[in-house]
Amino acid sequence: MEKNSTLISIQAAQALVLKYSSVTSVIVEMDLCNALDYVLAINVISEIDMPPFRQAAMDGYAFSISSAITYTVVAEIKAGDNANPILKEGEAVRIFTGAPVPTTANAVIMQEKVAIQGHKMTVQMPLVVEMNIRPKGSQIKRGAMALAKGTKIKGAHIGFLASIGITKVSVYAKPSIAIVVTGNELKAAGTPLEYGEIYESNGTMLSAVLQELGYLKTSIITVADDYDQTKTTLKEAIQVHDIVLVTGGVSVGDYDFVGKALKAIGVEEIFYKVKQKPGKPLFFGKMGSVSIFGLPGNPAAALSCFYIYVYPLLKKGEGATNTQLLSIFMPITSDYDVKGDRAQFLKAQIEEDGVQILEGQSSAFAGSFGAANALVFIPEHTPKIKKGERVKTILLPIK
Ligand code: AMP
Ligand code: MG
C-alpha cells in the first residue's frame, strides 16, 4: 500500500477535497436573462436610484398637507406620466400606484379614505407627512451594492437586477465535467440486454443531477474494463475537462483498472479509501487543475458520494460561500438497526414529525433515492438508533 492509500475519515476526505479545489479563475460576462444558477463573480452596483422618483404607493390623491381637509382636484397623474404639476395650497391631484408624486405634494391618501364631490376631495383620516409615498432610492440608492459577489443567481435576483436596469453580469464559468462510466456489462438503454449485461445508468443519472444543480456542460464517456482503453480514455477526458467523474472499476478487483490507469497517466492521488458506507473505495486525485473522482459503480453509492464529496467541490469552484449541504438534527421516526460499524449515509425522507430512513438501502438500488430528500448520517460504531433520537440529516439539493 502506498502512503496515501490509507483509510481516512469522512471529515478528513471532505477537508482534502476542499483543500485541493479552488474557485475557478474564469469569469465570464453573461446576459442577465441567461445567468440563472450562475454565481456572481463581481459585486453588482446599482447605477440608478430605485424607485427613480418619489412614487405613489396607492391609488388615491396627492397634495401638500395643510390645515384644510377639503382639496380641489386639479389634475390626474397615471403610472408612466411625465408630469410634475405645481400644486397650490388646497389643491390635489388624482394619482395612481407607481405614478410620480408631484414635488409640491407631501402626502398620498388612498382613495378609500376620501369623500369625493365633483372636483372636491375631503380627507377622512389623519394625515402624516410623506404617507403612501415611496421615497426615491428607498429600495436601493445609486452607487449601493445590489448583489454581492458569491451569490448564486436565482429568479428573484434576476428580477431585482432587471428592475435597476442591469443587462449583463459577471459570473464564474461553470466547469466542464466528464462522466466516465466503466464496465463491460454496461449497455445503452434502447437495445435488448444480453445475458450478463445491465443498462448503463450512472452516466445518465449524474448528468441529470448535475443539470438539476445548474451544471450543463457534461459529457458521458463509456469505457470497457480494459487497462489500455481506460488509460487512454481517462487521459483524453482529463485533457479537455475541468472535472472528471469516473464510476465503477475503482476498487481492487482483477478487472478494476481505474486506480492503476490514473496512476499510470500521472494523476496525483489525494485519497483512495474512506471509512464510510457506501463508498469505501473512493478515489480523489488531481492532475494540474483538473479534479478527478473515482466513484463507486453501484448507482446509489455513486450518488451518495457525489453529494458528499463532489457537490462541495463544485460549490467551491463556483465561488459559493457555503460549500457543504445544509444539515440539521432531526428525530428519527422509527427504531433503526444499524448494519456494520462504518459511518454511513442512509437515504431518508423528511416528514412532518421527523426523518424516516427509507427501505432499500442497498448501494445497488437507485430507486429509493427517488423518494429521498435527505441523507441521514450515522457515525461509526452506532449499533441502534431509537425512535425519537436526533440524527444528523443532510438536506439534498433537489428541486
Ligand atoms: P464496480 O464498482 O465496477 O465493481 O461496479 C459495482 C456495481 O455497479 C456492479 O454491479 C456494476 O455492474 C454496477 N455498475 C457499474 N457501473 C454502472 C453504471 N454506469 N450503471 C449502472 N450500474 C453500474
Ligand atoms: Mg466494474
pLDDT digits (tens, 9 = 90+) for 307-349: 999 999 999 998 887 899 999 999 999 999 999 999 999 999 9
pLDDT tier for residue 25 given thresholds of 50, 70 and 90: confident
Whether ligand 1 lies within 6 angstroms of the CB of 197 is answered as no
Q: What is the structure's pLDDT at 319?
A: 82
- Judge whether residue 271 has pLDDT over 90: yes
Measured by CA distance, the residue closest to atom 17 of ligand 1 is 297
Q: What is the structure's pLDDT at 321?
A: 76
Q: What is the structure's pLDDT at 3?
A: 44
Q: Which ligand is nearest to the CA of 247?
A: 1
The set of cell numbers assigned to 285 is: 486525485
pLDDT digits (tens, 9 = 90+) for 280-306: 999 999 999 999 999 999 999 999 999
Could you give the percent of the chain with pLDDT greater than 70?
A: 99
Atom of ligand 1 nearest to the CA of 298: 8
Question: Cell match 435576483: residue?
Answer: 157
Whether ligand 1 lies within 6 angstroms of the CB of 230 is answered as no
Pocket test for ligand 1, best of 182, 187, 195, 198 (most atoms within 8 A of CB): 198
CA angle 142, 145, 151 (to 5 degrees): 145
> What mean pLDDT is predicted for residues 13-21?
97
Whether ligand 1 lies within 6 angstroms of the CB of 100 is answered as no
Mean pLDDT for the chain?
95
The CA 137 to ligand 2 mean position distance, Å, reads: 61
Atom of ligand 1 nearest to the CA of 249: 3
pLDDT tier for residue 357 given thresholds of 50, 70 and 90: very high
The CA 204 to ligand 1 mean position distance, Å, reads: 13
The CA 20 to ligand 1 mean position distance, Å, reads: 27
Q: Which ligand is nearest to the CA of 297?
A: 1
Whether ligand 1 lies within 6 angstroms of the CB of 198 is answered as yes
The CA 80 to ligand 2 mean position distance, Å, reads: 66
pLDDT digits (tens, 9 = 90+) for 26-62: 999 999 999 998 999 999 999 999 999 999 999 999 9
> What mean pLDDT is predicted for residues 91-116?
98
Whether ligand 1 lies within 6 angstroms of the CB of 185 is answered as yes
Measured by CA distance, the residue closest to atom 16 of ligand 1 is 297
Question: Cell match 456542460: residue?
Answer: 217
The CA 184 to ligand 2 mean position distance, Å, reads: 7
Pocket test for ligand 1, best of 205, 298, 306, 363 (most atoms within 8 A of CB): 298
Which of 45-49, 261-265, 358-362 is predicted with the least confidence, judged by mean pLDDT? 358-362
pLDDT digits (tens, 9 = 90+) for 175-221: 999 999 999 999 999 999 999 999 999 999 999 999 999 999 999 99
The CA 225 to ligand 2 mean position distance, Å, reads: 7
pLDDT tier for residue 259 given thresholds of 50, 70 and 90: very high
